[in-house]
Amino acid sequence: MTIARSSDRPLNWPIILFMVAIHFGALFALLPSNFSWSAIGMAFILYFITGCLGITLGWHRLISHRSFRVPQWLEYFFLFCGSLSCQSGAIEWIGLHRHHHAFSDQEADHHNSGRGFWWSHMGWLLHDVPAKSEIRKFTKDINTDPVYILIDKYFLVLQIALGALLYALGGWPFVVWGIFVRLVVVYHFTWFVNSATHKFGYRTYDSGDRSTNCWWVALCTFGEGWHNNHHAYQYSARHGLQWWEIDVTWMIIRGLQSVGLADKVKLVKQEANLVKQ
C-alpha cells in the first residue's frame, strides 16, 4: 500500500474551516459579558463527561481495545458521551485508532510522530487521510450496529442540540464555554496523546514505536498520558502501571467493577515478554 507524504495529500477544507470556526468561537470567552463561573463549571462538567467518560473510558479503553465489558446499555451511554466530543463519528474514530496501533509511527500511521510534532498533533487532520479507506476492516464488530451507525451519522446534530440546550439553560456564556472552549480543550488534550506522548517523557518498555509516558498529559486526559505502557500492553484497562502513575480512568473502571457494571477486565499479569529501557 502506497502512502502519500503529508505534502502530497490534498487539504481537507471542510475540516479546516470547522476547526477555525471552533477555535474562533472559543475566543469569545475573552469578552467580559461571557464570563460566568457557572458557565465555566458547566464546561468542566462537560469536559469530564465527554473527555473522560466518552473518549478515554468509552471510545478508547472500552470500545477500541475491549479492555473490559459493560452492559450494552452502558456501552451505548459511553458511546453517546464520546459523540459529544465532536471528534468525528465513533466508527471513524475507533477505526482510525485501531489502524494507528497496527502501524504506530510507521509510514502508514496517519499521525506518525516521525513527521514532527505539528503533524502528529493536528496537521494530519487537515489533510485527506488514506487510512479512512480501511475503517470498515478495523470496525467489523461495530459497523453494522444500528445504534453505532445512528450516532456516527448524527454526531454533529447532537452537538447542535447540546448547544441549544446550553443556550436555554444559561444563554451565550454557557454556549461559548460549554461548546467552543470545552471542545478546544478536549481536542488539544486528545491530540497531545498523539503528539506529546510520542516525544516527551520516559519510556519504560520497548514497544516498537516512539510512545512515551508523560505525566502532564496523563493529568489532562485522566490517565491516557501513560502511553508507552498502553502501547506495550494495548489490551490493559489500566494504563498507569506504577504506583505513582495516577490513572483516573482506571479508578472509574474499578468502581464500575465493584458495583457489578464491569467485568472481563483485562490487566497486565507479567512483564517478561518486553525489554525495559
pLDDT digits 0-9 by tens, 210-246: 999 999 999 999 999 999 999 999 999 999 999 999 9
The share of the chain scoring above pLDDT 90, in percent, equals: 93
Task: Pick out the chain residues at pLDDT < 70.
Answer: 1-7, 270-277
Nearest CA to 244 out of 223, 269, 275 is that of 223
| Helices within 51-154 (DSSP H only) | 72-83, 90-102, 117-121, 135-138, 146-153
- Cα–Cα distance, 59 to 75 (Å, whole number): 9
Q: How far apart are CA 115 and CA 84, in angstroms?
A: 30
Structure pTM? 0.92
